[in-house]
Structures are given as structure tokens and as C-alpha cells.
Amino acid sequence: MFIAPEFQENRPKEIQRLVQDYPLATIVAHTDQGLIANHIPLLFKSDNILIGHIAKANEMYALITENQSVLAIFKGEDAYISANDYPSKLIDHKKVPTWNYQAVHVHGTLKFYDDQKSKLAAVGMLTKIQEQKTNSAQAWKMSDAPKDYLLALLEDLVVFEIEVTRIQAQSKLSQNREPTDFNAVIKRLKGRDQAGLAQAMSNLQRN
């Protein structure tokens, strides 16, 4: 991923936040049949291990070989930024539109696990985290489902881990604009109900 120096994201907590808040990753791999891409929710099992699961019918399981290199792409909020969003545009009109966004590219090697213990742990971890976000005290638990029904479903799944070898992250958030224009973009984004991206920009000012 090309990253201009001013947009390089080096804050570990911000990179972790993006992965946690936007877990639906695009996993890209080169196979004997060419490039494949799939959209799979992932989470960090540890500092250097991402974990997820897929149906065995997914082409990933058949085409990706053991310890093959893959790329997992996480994308945060994004927004079109009009030249009209910049107050300085009224002075010299030397402004053009752009696009603000955040993205994390995680490079690593992938390995599959088909044993029941790994499946229960991976599905349980992902479900617990997402249910806490979504339903809080009324969270669905794996134990809510009949055991035989759950185990039958798990038979059709396979777990995988991605051992991280490199992370690239980018926060293209108008850092190259003068303060007046920067703050005006934050205000415009809040007015467009894009508070998440506006908050990400505001966080830059505090770090």
C-alpha cells in the first residue's frame, strides 16, 4: 500500500482500534487459480496472531496452502471531502476535493485448524466479543444452542490463524491541511453524520 509520509499511522492503539471496530477484513491470497478475495471477520488472538473461521466450502480452504502468505485488509470509515469544505478556498480557489479514510493492511502466513477444540475456542471468542458489543447483558451464548446442533454446524467450519509478519496502516485525515481547513472538515463531517471519522481526526490533535 502506498502511504505518503504525512499519513503514516504509527500509533499501536489506533491500529488495534481499527481492527477491533471494523473486524470484517478482506483476505487476499494468490493461488494456482489466480487471486482470490474473501470478506471474513477477524480478531487478534494475541499481538501477532489473527484468528477467524470459514465454511469448508469456501474456496480459501481448498486453494490456500499451509503457511501461505496472505493479506488481510481492514478499512475504517471514509468520506469524500469537497474543496468547498475548506474556508481557505474562498481566498485563492487553489483547492481540490479529496477522500479521507483509514486502512490497515496485515501481512502474514495462514494456517488451518480442523479440530473441535480450536473451532469451539475461535467461534466462542468471536461470538462473545461481538455479542457484548451488540446485546450486552442479553448476549447470546453458544450454550444457548443445543450441543448436538452446534457441533454439527462446527463440522462444516474450519478455523485459521494468520501469523503477522508486517503491518501497514494509513490515516489519511487532512493532516496536510492548515488548522482552519482541518477543523472545518471535522465540523462538516459531524454535520453529515460521520462522527466516527470526525472523531478520528480530532484524536490526531490530541496525539
Instruction: Work out the burial of residue 138: count CB atoms within 10 Å of its CB; fewer than 13 is exposed, 13-18 middle, 19 or more buried.
Output: exposed
Span 148-160, average pLDDT: 95
The residues pairing with 26 across neighbouring beta strands, listed in sequence order, are 39, 73
Q: What is the pLDDT of residues 161-195, one digit of tens each?
A: 999 999 999 999 999 999 999 999 999 999 999 99
Q: What is the dihedral of CA 196, 197, 203, 204, to 10 degrees?
A: 170
pLDDT confidence band for 94 (50 / 70 / 90): confident
In CATH terms, the fold of domain 5-199 is Pnp Oxidase; Chain A (2.30.110)
Cα dist. 178→4, 183, 184 in Å?
17, 9, 10
Q: Which of 40, 15, 36, 16 is nearest to 26 (CA)?
A: 40
Cα dist. 202→39, 169, 184 in Å?
29, 18, 11
Q: Which helix (H) or strand (E) segment is 186 a member of? A: helix 179-191
> What span, in angstroms and rounded, lies between the C-alpha atoms of 186 and 40?
31
Span 105-115, average pLDDT: 98
Q: Which of 58, 99, 71 is nearest to 168 (CA)?
A: 71
Q: What is the pLDDT of residues 132-152, one digit of tens each?
A: 888 888 889 888 989 999 999
What are the residue ranges spanned by the domains of the chain? 5-199
Q: What pLDDT is recorded for position 137?
A: 80
